[in-house]
């Protein structure tokens, strides 16, 4: 039956879902670490924001 998924497709889908969950967890932890660093080192965070703003102003679309 063509409308049914094969076991390989199901396993691949589960692997993709697990990868997406791990990636989402990593990105959450990365954002949390950045927020903590910004709170602990406000001067460095401000300089980083200014550098990022300058890069975005000079970026050509």
Residue 22: what pLDDT?
97
Q: Which of 59, 58, 57, 33 is nearest to 45 (CA)?
A: 33
User: Considering the domain boundaries, does residue 1 fall inside one?
Assistant: no
User: Considering the domain boundaries, does residue 24 fall inside one?
Assistant: yes
Residue 1: what pLDDT?
47
Tokens 């970026």 correspond to 59
Q: pLDDT at residue 60 above 80?
A: no
The mean pLDDT value for 19-44 works out to: 94
State which residues form the domain around 45. Answer: 7-58
d(CA 33, CA 13): 30
User: Considering the domain boundaries, does residue 2 fall inside one?
Assistant: no
Into how many domains does the chain fold?
Answer: 1
The mean pLDDT value for 26-35 works out to: 96
Question: What are the distances in angstroms from CA 9 to CA 12, 34, 38, 56?
Answer: 5, 37, 43, 41
Residue 24: what pLDDT?
97
pTM for the whole structure: 0.56
């Amino acid at each position: 039956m063509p409308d049914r998924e094969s076991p390989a497709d199901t396993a691949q889908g589960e692997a993709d879902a697990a990868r997406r969950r791990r990636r989402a967890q990593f990105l959450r932890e990365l954002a949390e670490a950045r927020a903590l660093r910004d709170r602990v080192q406000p001067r460095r965070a401000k300089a980083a924001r200014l550098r990022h703003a300058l890069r975005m102003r000079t970026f050509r679309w």
